[in-house]
Structure formats: C-alpha cells, structure tokens
Amino acid sequence: MSNQPVVSCLPVTGNKMSKAKKVLDEARETKNREIDLVERNISTFEELPGLLNMLFVTRITLSHNKLKTVPPGIANLINLEILNLSNNFLEELPLSLSSMPKLRILNCSINRLNTLPRGFGAFPVLEVLDLSYNNLNEQVLPGNFFMMDSLRALYLGDNEFEYLPKEVKNLKNLQILGLRDNDLLELPREIGELTRIRELHIQNNRLSVLPPEIANLDMPGPKSVLKMEENPWVTAIAEQYLVGISHVLEYIKTEAYRILYNRHMQSGGKSGGELPPKSDKSKKVSRARS
C-alpha cells in the first residue's frame, strides 16, 4: 500500500460551497425563511445548491459577493419578498425577476449593470427598487419601466442619466426619488405630477434650472427632503438657495422665473452658450472589469 498522501480532487470552491451549503442546509432544517449569505465570496449560484427550490424563503441577502449573473430560475421562489444583490459584479439581470409575484424590495446597487431586460417594469407588487451606482442611462430603460404602480422608492443615483423620461409621471405612488450624482441636464415638467413625493435627491448633477411644476409638490413640509446642492444653478436660483430651500420653491412660482425658465429651455439649456461639463466617472467601481 502506498504511503503517498491522498490528493483531494475537490475544486477550490469546495470550502466556499461548504460554508454556503451549511447555511442553506440549516435553513432547510429549521424552515428559516430568511437566508443571509453576505460576504461569502460567492461567484455563482452553482455554489448555492438547492436554493432555487426553497420555495418557503421570503428574504435572501447576497450582498458583497462576486456574482456576475443571476439565473432565470430565481423566479421559482414565488414567496420571495426581499432580494438584496448589492455590491456584486452583475452586468445584467434576468427578465424573470419582474414576474415574481411577491417581490417587494429589490436592491441591485453597486454593480456593473449597463442595461436592463426588455419588460423589466412588469413587477406586480414591487415597492422599493435600488439601481444606484451602476452604468445605466435613459437609453437603456425598457418601455414599461415607469409602469410600476406600486413603487414607493426608486433609487437611480450614481448612474449616467442626462435626462429623466417624462413617463416618470406614471409612478403615482412614488414617495422617494433618488437621482443624485448623475449627469442630468434637466428635469421633466411632468415631475410635478408626482404628488406623493416626500424625498427628491438631485444633488451633484448638471442642472441649471428647475421646472416650475416642482413647486406643486409638498416639498417644504416638515417631513420632506429636497437635496439640490452641487449643481450649476442659474444665479437667481443660486441666490435663493443660499437663503433656504423654501425660498427656492417660492421663487420658482413667480412669473419672473417662468419667463427665465422658458428662455433657458429655448436656448437648449445652455448657460453661456455651452452645456455644463460631465463629471469624470472613469474610475467608478462599476466601470471596472473583473
């Protein structure tokens, strides 16, 4: 008999898989409906044997891993209400996600998404969608993106939007809209139809003016938040902003401002003949290639 040590034929992922498998096995035993797999160095769903058959699960947290894709079979989890995929390497999402009947919260922030699947807006009960810190823009939004009636919070910050489609007005139940750190040159007048908005984050864009219709929103209220710093505002708005947000909202109701706004828009939004420069996003984590 040879005294040579036995060489393991297990793949290098074996240890990772055994840790994740242990979490899944325990959840199956105890019927734990919440699966926590944060920071487990997971690269693929193949390291999560049987997860897609655990129909009793209502919450899955897979943030801070190395996932590049999500299998369409995720839609098997018909009782899933919360899915956290933040801080991975995702470049695309499966269309099947939007058919999940109970999914209320979907967090795909801090990934590498360059596009969204056609029909992505078909979520039946989604309330919170976080797509912040990706590489998305208005060109890649599917036609039904703004048809999510149930949506209460939409986070699109840290992407590459220059314009927000006017169809945003269809999100009648929206209370929080995050648009910070994009390349927005203007906001659509239709944003004034989002009467339930309580938080609007538009800081660090390329905005020079605000549509007068924003004054229709109940933004000066005690529970409301309007963040608008770090934009190249026209002088009249910048001066009012120094005094306070409520002064800005009062000013944009005036006839003098409506005239200024219309002139600005007729000039193509160019201040001094040129558009404000884009911010440099070349070093964003979402631009990196693994």
pLDDT in tens, 52-89: 999 999 999 999 999 999 999 999 999 999 999 999 99
The confidence band for 272, taking pLDDT boundaries of 50, 70 and 90, is low
pTM of the model: 0.90
**114 assigned to some structural domain:** yes
- Over residues 246-254, the mean pLDDT reads 95
d(CA 284, CA 228): 22
**32 assigned to some structural domain:** yes
Contact status, residue 163 vs residue 189, Cβ threshold 8 Å: no
Please tell me the predicted confidence (pLDDT) of residue 268: 81
What is the domain-level CATH number for residue 174?
A: 3.80.10.10
The confidence band for 221, taking pLDDT boundaries of 50, 70 and 90, is confident
**249 assigned to some structural domain:** no
**230 assigned to some structural domain:** yes
SS3 200: strand
Please tell me the predicted confidence (pLDDT) of residue 7: 42
Please tell me the predicted confidence (pLDDT) of residue 286: 59
Q: Is the pLDDT of residue 11 over 50?
A: no
**DSSP H or E segment with residue 17:** helix 14-30
| Number of structural domains the chain divides into | 1
Give the residue from 214, 202, 146, 144 showing the smallest Cα distance to 174. Answer: 146
**152 assigned to some structural domain:** yes
Please tell me the predicted confidence (pLDDT) of residue 277: 72
Contact status, residue 187 vs residue 164, Cβ threshold 8 Å: yes
**186 assigned to some structural domain:** yes
Q: What percent of the chain has pLDDT over 70?
A: 88
**136 assigned to some structural domain:** yes
Q: Can you read off the two tokens belonging to residue 286?
A: 């979402």
**12 assigned to some structural domain:** no
Q: Is the pLDDT of residue 274 over 90?
A: no
SS3 84: strand
Q: Is the pLDDT of residue 112 over 90?
A: yes
- Over residues 174-199, the mean pLDDT reads 97
Contact status, residue 90 vs residue 112, Cβ threshold 8 Å: yes
DSSP category for residue 238: H
Domain range for 39? 20-234
